[in-house]
Amino acid sequence: MRKLVTIFSVLFLMAATVQAQQISGTIKDEKGKGLEKATVSLLKASDSSLVKLVATGNSGVYTFATVKPGKYLINTTFVGYVPAYSDVFEVSGSNITVPELTISKPTGELAGVVVTTKKPIIEVKADKMILNVEGTINAVGNDALELLRKSPGVMVDKDDNISLAGKNGVQVFIDGKPSPLSGTDLSNFLKSTQSSQIESIEIITNPSAKYEAAGNAGIINIKLKKNKTFGTNGSVNLGYVQGVYPKYNGGINLNHRDKNVNIFGSYNYNDVKNLMIMNSDREQFDTLFKQRNSIRVLVKSHSFKTGVDYFINKKSTLGAIVSGNISDVDVNTAGPMFFTYKPTGQLNRILQATNKNDRSQDNINANLNYRYAVTGGTELNIDADYSSFRIGSNQYQPNIYYNPDGTTEISRAVYNMIAPTDIDLISLKADYEQNFKGGRLGIGFKSAVVNTDNDFQRYNVYTSSKVLDTLKSNQFEYNENINALYVNYNKQLKKGIMFQLGVRAENTISKGTSTGFKQVNDVMVPYDSLFKRNYTNLFPSAAVTFNKNPMKQWTISYSRRIDRPAYQDLNPFEFKVNEYNFMKGNTQLKPQYTNSIDITNIYKYRLTTKLTFSHVNDIFAQIPDTIDKTKGFLTKRNLAKQDVVALSISYPFQLKWYSFYAMLNSNYSHYKADFGGGDRVVDQKVFNVTYYMQNSFDFGKGWKGELTGLYISPGVWSGFFKTVAMGSIDVGIQKQLFQGKGNVKFAVSDVFSTMKWGGTSDFAGVHMNFNGYGELPQYKLNFSFRFGNSQVKAARQRKSALDEERKRAEGGGQQGGMNQ
């Protein structure tokens, strides 16, 4: 870590002390007209490595400020034109004007030019970080949850809860739409989504008012692949992974696009069997509970997506998308729990609680969308969405007690829990933008309704029959309606200052009903636990960017956000994990609110530094508590507050065939709450560091290699659990085949088997130690092949390509790793 800090310091000081000059010039087309928004690259003459990147302004003029002495050349590109290079020139003691460069459209058979877009593996911008999954070799064979686990700044704990920059309450989006799933349902969905389906992952820590306010830590948007190439084309991919058990995946993508319509579809299959080891020691009252579990998870999933875009005219597009995921997730848990009497240290009995849970999760999504856009002017987007989730759970749980010798049975209690869950979501939203007083004004609304119905039935199983236990069964219905309005305005001022201001108003109406039976004086009577909430909040956001000198950009941003309780966390019913462990919801659980300020500096488009201050009120925490002295349960409560200070630094380096990218994320958190004094007081202070590095190698002739590393220092999960350090080293190699249409990738994840989690907690008289790990290491092989037309018509693609280039050149987007 000290070496890394030293390297950053030396680089910064060297850059700051070297005298710099200015380079300017003009780019024109074959008719002599200046080309606006052409991409201009300043390259070192010695090895053609990229130094800086800008976009041309009016009349095709470009300028590179603060250039160090040395020999350089200019490269310019424009969509639909043949790239051009200048002669080599030298920067010494005065400013340089490069002779004008002329680029022309291709002639003859090259008129249908093939445009190949190269994306960096990681892009860091002032408002978000983008992980381009398609561009990395070591992403092969991972599911979406594993990709998040290895993403810089993202933490996934032992229960698959996701946190970002030291804060929980992350809102997961799929293709720009918030997922209604949470907890186990969300983790199972992410486990059924393979990396071969994912284009990129966007991590947005301070979203503008245009985004939903949900997500205290920010938004993680998983963008699935969508082909935009003209003509008829497609791709296939096949994958094999070997850990303790073999795993298979495969898929196909098809696309047809012409000037009037774009039709696309994809199908992916995933067959995975994973092993996880989970151990825990719990001291409670006079007993030590020592549990040793092996968990086998079998996932078989089918995912599909089909849609059509109809281009009504140059301004209007009408689209429809249907997608879904059909999966079966079988979870088998086996292992003993040892009971030891603490005063004497004597083992007095053993519990064998072998759980088998057969789960199904079927999801169907439908979207209708309309887009009206005038280049540089008015834009209107309307989306209507419907999502349906049908989740089934059939759990068989025998609890068999043995004498200390482990052979003589004392007693048994066998349960069968059947718990179907139905979730339906309907939403309508509209976003409108137009030019206003020299800036950009955006307004919009969204209305969303979520209905959830969970029917939990517990049966006592006997030798020849099973009987419904009405006292331990429960039905929970939860309905939530969120209506939102927002306004957002941004403007570039003449003095090199750009600002954005916005506010979002959200009204939440929710109702939960937990019904079942309870026993009163030996009589079974029905109960109805009903709670209602109706509240309205304002969520302001603001950002100011100082970009007078593009080489030294500063951005200050602020946002207020909310995280609402998941429906599972509100149900007051007690769910049995085994005879001595329960989970229980909390109807008093309130939303948690976060105020965050980010200060970001992007130096020479490369070195990005971000400092974040966050204050969280009523933070969610998963708290261990006690029942009947020796039994424990987990429930979520609101801690009083959490304060977080986070610092992230990232830097890319490229030299000929080698590129390096490093990101350092650190955060200091202070959790504080009082649940009754004594051992029920929480006052945790923790400093956590995450370091990610990626080395990429281009060996030539289609061969590429990759070496990535991740280190996570000790920290805190869910406000209570103090964790140990963990990390991993991954290696991979890739070979292009069939003139670049085919790819073979081989990767080994966690080469040294170091991605093992563990930690402790001490609350309310319960002291816990826990640890666990998955299949380490894993060997992954993937083959992909593209077929059909690969040409992109410049006329249709120019706007989106130019917008992307402009954002990277003018917006200070940092590129990390090797271009793929």
Give the pLDDT confidence of 400-410 residue by residue, as tens digits. 999 998 889 99
User: 396 - beta bridge partners?
Assistant: 356, 416
Question: pLDDT (tens digit, 9 = 90+) per residue, 500-548?
Answer: 899 999 999 999 888 888 777 877 778 777 889 999 999 999 988 887 7
Q: Residue 442 has what pLDDT?
A: 93
At residue 628, the pLDDT reads 56
pLDDT tier at 749, thresholds 50, 70, 90: very high
Per-residue confidence band for 324, with pLDDT thresholds at 50, 70 and 90:
very high
Give SS3 for 629. coil
Who has greater pLDDT, 113 or 622?
Answer: 622
Q: Within 13 Å and on the Cβ side, how many CA atoms surround 136?
A: 32
Beta strands (DSSP E) in 374-522 are 379-402, 409-418, 421-436, 439-461, 466-468, 474-492, 497-520
pLDDT interval class at 781 (50, 70, 90): very high
Mean pLDDT, the chain, as a whole number?
A: 81
Are 734 and 710 spatial neighbours (Cβ–Cβ below 8 Å)? no
* pLDDT band of 106, cuts 50, 70, 90: low
Inform me whether the pLDDT recorded for 417 exceeds 60.
yes
Lowest mean pLDDT among 124-133, 533-542, 714-723, 727-736: 124-133
- The arithmetic mean of pLDDT across residues 656-683, rounded, is 77
Structure tokens of 286?
């006079």
Is it the case that residue 81 has pLDDT exceeding 80? no
Instruction: Give the amino acid at 101.
Output: L
Q: How are beta strands 466-468 and 439-461 bridged, if at all?
A: antiparallel
Q: Identify whether the C-beta of residue 578 lies closer than 8 Å to the C-beta of residue 356.
A: no
358, 359, 354: which is closest to 291 by C-alpha? Answer: 354
How would residue 34 be classed by pLDDT, with cut points 50, 70 and 90? Answer: confident
The reply to whether omega before 777 is within 30° of 0 (cis) is: yes
How confident is the model at residue 799, as a pLDDT? 41
Least confident of 219-233, 643-657, 716-730: 219-233
Burial of 222 per CB tally in 10 Å (0-12, 13-18, 19+): buried
What do you get for the CA distance between the two ends of the chain, in Å? 28
Report how far residue 634's alpha carbon sits from residue 627's, in angstroms, rounded to the nearest whole number: 10
| Nearby residues of 319 by Cβ (< 8 Å), 6 or more positions away | 307, 308, 309, 310, 367, 368, 369, 370, 371
Comparison of pLDDT for 408 and 654, the residue scoring more: 408
Please tell me the distance from the alpha carbon of residue 66 to that of residue 779, in angstroms, as a whole number: 47
Q: What band does 780 get if pLDDT is binned at 50, 70 and 90?
A: very high
Longest dimension (CA), the chain: 96
Task: Tell me what pLDDT residue 194 has.
Answer: 73
Q: What is the pLDDT of residue 820?
A: 32
Residue indicated by tokens 């009037």: 260
Min mean pLDDT across 65-69, 361-365, 384-388 is at 65-69
13 pLDDT above the threshold of 50 = no
Residue 586, pLDDT above cutoff 50: yes
134-158 confidence digits (pLDDT tens): 666 667 667 777 777 666 667 776 5
Q: Is the pLDDT of residue 800 over 50?
A: no
Q: Greater confidence, 660 or 385?
A: 385
Percent of the chain whose pLDDT exceeds 70: 81
> Which pLDDT score, from 0 to 100, does residue 643 have?
86
Residue type, 305: K
Which range of 88-92, 168-172, 678-682 scores highest in mean pLDDT? It is: 88-92
**Does the N-terminal peptide bond of residue 99 adopt cis geometry, omega within 30 degrees of 0?**
no
Collapsed DSSP state (helix, strand, coil) of residue 194: strand
